[in-house]
Every structure is written in structure tokens, then in C-alpha cells.
Chains A and B, each alone.
Chain A
Amino acid sequence: MAFWSWFWTINFIVAGSAFAGIAVVVAFRGVADLRAMLAALRAEREHR
């Protein structure tokens, strides 16, 4: 039981930290990606 208790505690810390960390990075860098996607769609529409 003690093994599982520690195992899940460590897993939870890793999972929670990864979730929060990646969310912050994506929130900032995703804006540029989104603008690039819209620019590509706009360019394709004008090309047609």
C-alpha cells in the first residue's frame, strides 16, 4: 500500500507540473501558430 501511495503521489506531481508547464508554453507560442495558419488559409484563398 505504501508503495502505491508514493507511486501515485509522484505520478500526480509529474502530471500536474507537466500539464501546467505545457499549457503556459502553448498559450504563448500558439498565437504565432494560429496567425500562421490563418495567413496560409488567406493566401490559398487569394490564389484560387
Chain B
Amino acid sequence: MNFTALDWGIVGVYIALTLAAGLAGRKYVTNAADFLLAGRHLGKYIGIATLAATEIGTITFMYYAELGYKTGFASFINGLIAGVVMIFLGASGFMIFKLRDLGLTTVPEFFEVKYSRRLRLVAGVLVAVGGLLNMGVFLKVEGTFLTIIAGLPLSDLKWTMTVILFLELLYTVLGGMVSIVITDFIQFVMLSLGTVLVTGYVIWTVGWRHMQDAVMNNLGSNGFSPLSNPDYGWAYIAFQLLLWMAVDTCWQTTAMRTFATKDPETSKKVFFWTGFIFLGRGMMPMLWGIGALAYFGKGHDSLQAMPEMIARILPTGVLGLVVAGMLAATMSVNSSYLLGWSSVISQDIILPLRRRPLGQSSQVVLNRVVNVLVSLFVLFWGVWYVLPGPVYFYLNITGTLFLAGAFAAFIGGLFWKRANTVGGYCAMIGGAVGSVTYFFNIPAAYAGMSAFGLAALGMVLGSLVGGRWDRRFRLS
């Protein structure tokens, strides 16, 4: 048992504070726009906090640390690309400006605005399937981290997962986006403190020089150069550039922040500054993984090495503070993802299938019911599913399942006059087909590139060749 009464006390106070703040948010919810987008009132600073908190979870720390443990400093390329792409989008406003200007609520809604209602439904199904498979492994990975670091036996993992889920579900179901934004702010402060504290302790305890030597001795030059490392290379870098462009623009939880900002200019500023946070979001946990490599040596469980090292090096009190920070990260990500995927299922699948529109209060009830159902799926998928490789690659590919097609359809819909519904269908199908090749032993980089390639090809050829059938597809 690593935790003392002081550590449990710190975590307990944090949880009580978050729940109280989250539950307070429900009184501001009167319609679906409040529930899903906080009334589109996000300013720059709160926008940065909620976007960063949504995309920084314990799952993020775990998969990046695993990459650091397995591929050394070369893994930093992932953090660099994620940050630079977001800074570019923020500085240029490419896509995000227009997307905010359209006043959308969900990503698949764009497909109805630019293509057809039926394509919105197809996109909604793909977004929901990819998103749920993606989120399905979160609880298990996060539960593993919190169980190890608290010094509990791994047999308690299912209980840890259930408690995490129950806590975040409580305020997400009641207060929706308003509660999430309030709690995201508290969680952003806590997780930033935890991230900086752990990074400082790892460098202080293990030593920068020792980490460099450990990478050199265990991985050689492949541990430094992303070009020579067999897990990366040029194809992987190209895939990551495309993937992050797609994530930042078409990923439901990220896009919801774009849609929820006050105006397009605020969206640009939020992305620009969050991009710098994304540099550290990647590189700091990767360094923890490298620290674990130096601390334990090769041959340790790559996913468990980082939390085991942290549990050993952090003193009492600091451990409680860091776990509160990690719990904050976990809850902020999961609550946003719960809302994100639930909103797609309710707004883009269930509502379009209904013949009669639903009233505002009924829509809020529907979203709450879907929230609970999504939570149950995530809990059972986490217990049952065994990952085929590194967590990061699995998350990349399940995301690419719809991101590749959605990205091509977004680009076509926003910037190409000849883009049409047939092209949209071909892009979505091509992207999905390319990404599932990963599950047939194709390396992640090639599966990802083929997904984006097929989606782009589908968009172009489908639009050029299918022009004569477009009207029929559009009307169907």
C-alpha cells in the first residue's frame, strides 16, 4: 500500500470539490445547446483549459509513457507533431475558422449541411463506432495506473474502473457541457500541477544524463532518431501529420470546443495556445517512460513501468497531490468523451431516424440516457478486450476509422466546389477500409496512410465520376 491517510485525504477533498462544482453546473442547463455546447460562450482562457483538459488524461500519460519506454527520445516526434499541427491551425485558422462559422453542434452535422441527411447518418454511425472502440480501452488503462500508484492489488482493477466511471457519469449526466467546462478548469489546474511535479521528480531522481545513457544502451541510435527507428520513419511522420490535422478539426471532443467558443477568432486563439501545451502534453509523459526505462531497465511491462516508478519515487503527500491531478485528468477526458460520443449517437443517429422532432427537454433526457448506455459499454469493453499492440497505435487506428473519411469530406466540402455526396460516401468507406487493415497485421503507419489515401481518392474519384448520381444520393 503506497498511499497514506494524508494522500487519501488529498484525493478525497479533490473529488468532493469537483463533484460539488460539477453538480452546480446543472442549474445553467435549460436546452440542448446549453447541455452540449455551454451556450457557445467559451472565452480564450477557459477554452484553452477545457480543450487541454479534454485531451490530457491518464490514458494520455500511459500511452505516451509506453512509447517513451519502448522507443526512447525518438518518441518525442509524436509530441512535436501534435503540438506543431495545432499551433499551425491556430495561427492560420485553416478549417477551424470556417467550422466555427457554420454554427454546428456535432461533426456529422456537417455532412447534412454540405452533403445529405443519409450521409450524416452513415458518418454518425462510423464516428460512434470508432469513438466507442477508442474510448473502450480508456478505463482499463487509467484504472491500471491508479491501482498501481495507490498500491492496490491489480485484482481491484474492475472496482477502480467502476468508481472512476460512476464519479464522472454523475456530473456529466446532470450538467452536460456546462458542468464539464467548470470541472475541466479545476482539473486543468490540478493535472498541470501533477504533470510538472512528476516531471521534476523524474528528472531529479533518475537524472537526465542517466536517461540518455539508458536509451543509448538499450535502444542505440534508434532511441534518438525517429527516422531510423523501425516503429516510426517517414511514412509514420506523414501519417501523424494527417492524423493530427484530422483530430484537431474532425474529432468530436475537440470539435465541440471549436463549436462552443464565442466566435471564430476565439477558436483560433484557443488552438494556437493549446498547441504549445500539446508539446509538453506529449514530451513530458514520454520522459516519464524513458525514466522508467532507466529506473527498471528493459524487460519490464511497458505499460506498468511508469506508474510503478512513480509510486516508488514520489514521497507521501506529493503522491496524493499527483494522484488527485491524474484523477482530474482522467475525469476531464472521460466526461468529455462520454458527452462527445453520446451527443453523436443522440443527435446524428437517433434524431435523424425519428420522423417527428423531439422537444428540447426530451433531447436533454435522451442525451442523459445515451450517456449511461455509453458508460456501460465502456466498462464492459475495457474488461473484455485485449489490446493487439501499443495503446497509442490502437487509439490512432480506431480514430482513423472515421477521421480519414471525415477529414477528406470536410476538406472537399469546405474548399472544393465539385465535392458531392457520392464522393462523401466513397471517402468514408475508403477511410474505414484502410484503417481496419491494422487488425490484419499491417503496421499502423501503413494502415493509417492507406486510410487517408483511400479516403482522399474516394472523395476525388467519387465526386468526379459520381456527379450524375449525386442528385439521387442527395435526395435519398
Q: Indicate, yes or no, whether A interacts with B.
A: yes
Chain A residues with CB under 8 Å of chain B are 1, 4-5, 8-9, 11-12, 14-16, 18-20, 22-23, 25-27, 29-34, 36-38, 40-42, 44-45, 48
State which residues 201-250 of B face A: CB under 8 Å: 208, 212, 216, 221, 224-225
A24 CA to B279 CA in the complex, in Å? 16
Contact B192 A20, beta carbon cutoff 8 Å: yes
The answer to the question of B281 belonging to the interface, with a C-beta cut-off of 8 Å to chain A, is yes
- B42's nearest neighbour on chain A, judged by CB, is A37
Residues of the B chain whose Cβ atoms lie less than 8 Å from the Cβ of A25: 45
A33 CA to B41 CA in the complex, in Å? 9
- B284's nearest neighbour on chain A, judged by CB, is A16
Contact B45 A26, beta carbon cutoff 8 Å: yes
Looking at chain B's contact residues, the main secondary structure is helix
Q: List 21 A-B contacts (CB under 8 A).
A: A1-B221, A4-B224, A4-B225, A5-B212, A5-B224, A15-B83, A15-B279, A18-B280, A19-B284, A20-B192, A22-B273, A23-B189, A26-B45, A29-B45, A36-B43, A37-B46, A40-B39, A40-B41, A41-B39, A44-B34, A48-B30
The answer to the question of B366 belonging to the interface, with a C-beta cut-off of 8 Å to chain A, is no
Chain B residues with CB under 8 Å of chain A are 28, 30, 34, 38-39, 41-49, 52, 73-74, 76, 79-80, 83, 178, 181-182, 185, 188-189, 192-193, 195-196, 199, 208, 212, 216, 221, 224-225, 273, 276-277, 279-284, 287
Known: A16-B284, A29-B45, A33-B44. A38 touches B192 (CB 8 A): no
Contact A4 B73, beta carbon cutoff 8 Å: yes
In the complex, what's the smallest C-beta–C-beta distance from A11 to chain B, in angstroms?
A: 6
Contact A19 B73, beta carbon cutoff 8 Å: no
- B287's nearest neighbour on chain A, judged by CB, is A12
Residues of the A chain whose Cβ atoms lie less than 8 Å from the Cβ of B76: 8, 11-12
Contact B225 A41, beta carbon cutoff 8 Å: no
Interface hub of A27, A37, A42 (most chain B Cβ within 10 A): A37
Residues of the B chain whose Cβ atoms lie less than 8 Å from the Cβ of A31: 185
Residues of the B chain whose Cβ atoms lie less than 8 Å from the Cβ of A38: 28, 178
Contact B28 A42, beta carbon cutoff 8 Å: yes
Contact B79 A23, beta carbon cutoff 8 Å: no
A45 CA to B83 CA in the complex, in Å? 38
Contact A19 B46, beta carbon cutoff 8 Å: no
Contact B279 A11, beta carbon cutoff 8 Å: yes
Contact B43 A23, beta carbon cutoff 8 Å: no
Known: A15-B280, A45-B28. A23 touches B188 (CB 8 A): yes
